[in-house]
Amino acid sequence: MIIGKKQMKTPLLRNGMLVILVCVIAGSALAQRGPGGRGPGRGKGGHGQGHDRDHVDFRYLLTNHQKIKRNVQELPNGVQTLTESEDPQVAAKIREHVYWMKERIEKKQPIRMRDPLFAELFKHAAQIKMVTENTPNGVRVVETSEDPYVVKLIQEHAKTVSQFVKRGFPEAMKNHPVPTTQKEAKKPEYIHPNIQRYGKVVQLPHAAQQPRAESKLCVDLTRGGATDQLNPSIEKIARYVNIYEGAGKSPASVQIAVVLHGDATLCALNDDAYAKRFKTESNPNLDCLHELHEAGVSIYVCGQSLIGKGSQPEEVVVFADVAVSALTSLVNLQADGYAYVPLLK
C-alpha cells in the first residue's frame, strides 16, 4: 500500500505536538517540586513568591509546634539538630522548610530581617556551612563555622528555633538579641548632644523613624511635680532637644515651643517669687528652663492660669513669655504648622 507524503504529515505532526506538550507539563511539575527536585529559588532579597511560601511554611510549623520534637547538640564549631514529627505532613513540612533555609543561607537571601538575631546571622551567611540529612520523621542538620563569633550566632539561632517549637506564635512575635559575652555586653551609652546636664539620650542611627529636619513641636505641658525638685516633664523637653540634635543618624533642625499651664504654670516663676510662694531657696526648674531657652526653645506661660493661681506676669522669669492663654497659644502654634505633643496629667 502506498501512503502519500501529505497523509504521513498529519499523524507525525500530531505526535510531535503531543511529545512537546508532555515535556512542558513534566518540566512545570519539576519546577514546582522544591526539595525533591531543584526548582526556582526563593527570590532575591527575601521578598516575592518565595518569601510568601516561606511565611506559609513557617506559620504551618508554628501552628503545629506541639507535634514537633527537637534535639540540639552543641558542637565546638556549631550545632547538630534533629527536628522530627510523627505526623507525616508535619515531617514533610519540616524537611521543606530546612531545604529552603539552606538555600537562603547559601544564596544569601535573608528572611525575618526585623529580628536582630536573624539579621545578624544572614550578615555572616558566607561563613556558615549547612549539611542536612533527611530522617524517616524529619531532618538532621549540622551547621558550623570557622569563625567563633558566627558559631555563637549559630548556637543562639538553634536555641531560638527550639523556643519556636516549644512556644509557637508567642515566641515568633519576639525580637531576639544578638549574643554577646560578658566582656562585650555594654550598658547604654548616654549622651547630651546639646543640653549638657539634662535630657540624656542614646544614639540610634539605624532605628526607624529618624528625626526629620525642620520639624516643629508644640509641647502642651500641664504636669506638675514636687516643688523642691525639677519637674520631670521639663527635663523631658530637654530630651526632645537632644533627640533632634544627636540621637539619630544625623542632627536634624527643630523648632520647639512649650506652653506651661495647669499644674506646670508656676514652674516659670523667678527665684524670688517661687521661693516666697513655695518656701524654697530658689526655683529648681529655672536652670533647665534657661538651658532650653539657650537651645532655642520658646517658652509660653498661660496668663489665665498664672493669674488664677494668684501670681502676676511680672513674676515670670525674664526669658519666658506670658500668653493670653494656653488655648490661644496652642491654637496659634498648630496653625503655624507645629505638631501637637501633650505632656498632660
Per residue in 241-258, pLDDT tens? Answer: 999 999 999 999 999 999
Reduced to 3 states (helix: H, G, I; strand: E, B; else coil), residue 191 is: strand
On whether both 128 and 265 belong to a single domain, the answer is: no
On whether both 117 and 237 belong to a single domain, the answer is: no
On whether both 167 and 100 belong to a single domain, the answer is: yes
Which of 112, 140, 172 represents a domain boundary (last residue)?
172
d(CA 23, CA 28): 9
Q: Mean pLDDT, to the nearest integer, of 49-60? A: 78
d(CA 285, CA 259): 15
On whether both 239 and 115 belong to a single domain, the answer is: no
Which of 114, 140, 172 represents a domain boundary (last residue)?
172
Q: 257, 219 in Cβ contact below 8 A?
A: yes
The torsion angles phi and psi of 15, rounded to 5 degrees, stand at -65, -35
> Residue 221 maps to which CATH number?
3.40.1260.10
Query: Would residue 11 count as lying in a domain?
Result: no
Q: At what angle do helices 286-294 and 232-242 cross, to 10 degrees?
A: 20
pLDDT of residue 1: 37
For residue 21, count CB atoms less than 10 angstroms from its CB and return exposed for 0-12, middle for 13-18, buried for 19 or more. Answer: exposed
d(CA 149, CA 137): 32
Nearest to 244 by CA among 281, 276, 199, 181: 199
pLDDT of residue 4: 45
On whether both 160 and 243 belong to a single domain, the answer is: no
pLDDT of residue 198: 97
Nearest to 303 by CA among 290, 285, 278, 320: 320
Cell of residue 185, nine digits: 555586653
Q: Residue 51: which domain range?
A: 47-172
Q: Residue 251, CB half-sphere, CA atoms under 13 Å: how many? A: 8
Q: 335, 315 in Cβ contact below 8 A?
A: no
Query: Would residue 86 count as lying in a domain?
Result: yes
- pLDDT band at residue 303 under the 50/70/90 scheme: very high
Q: Mean pLDDT, to the nearest integer, of 74-93? A: 96
Q: Mean pLDDT, to the nearest integer, of 280-297? A: 98
Q: What is the DSSP string of 30-94?
A: HHT-BTTB------GGG-SHHHHHHHHHHHHHHHTGGGEEEEEEEETTEEEEEEEESSHHHHHHH
Query: Would residue 324 count as lying in a domain?
Result: yes
Q: How many domains, the chain?
A: 2
Supply the DSSP symbol for 162.
Answer: H
Q: 38, 100 in Cβ contact below 8 A?
A: no
- pLDDT tens digit string along 144-172? 999 999 999 999 999 999 999 999 999 99
On whether both 209 and 309 belong to a single domain, the answer is: yes
- pLDDT tens digit string along 183-223? 555 678 999 999 999 999 999 998 999 999 999 999 999 99
Supply the DSSP symbol for 147.
Answer: S
On whether both 297 and 244 belong to a single domain, the answer is: yes
On whether both 146 and 282 belong to a single domain, the answer is: no
Query: Would residue 8 count as lying in a domain?
Result: no
On whether both 202 and 338 belong to a single domain, the answer is: yes
User: What's the predicted TM-score (pTM) here?
Assistant: 0.63
On whether both 107 and 217 belong to a single domain, the answer is: no
Query: Would residue 204 count as lying in a domain?
Result: yes
Q: Mean pLDDT, to the nearest integer, of 294-323? A: 98
pLDDT over 50 at 37, yes or no: no
pLDDT of residue 34: 53
Any residues with CB less than 8 A from the CB of 215 and at least 6 apart, and which? 244, 252, 253, 254, 255, 339
- The distance of Cα 126 from the centroid of its chain, to the nearest Å, equals 25
On whether both 210 and 126 belong to a single domain, the answer is: no
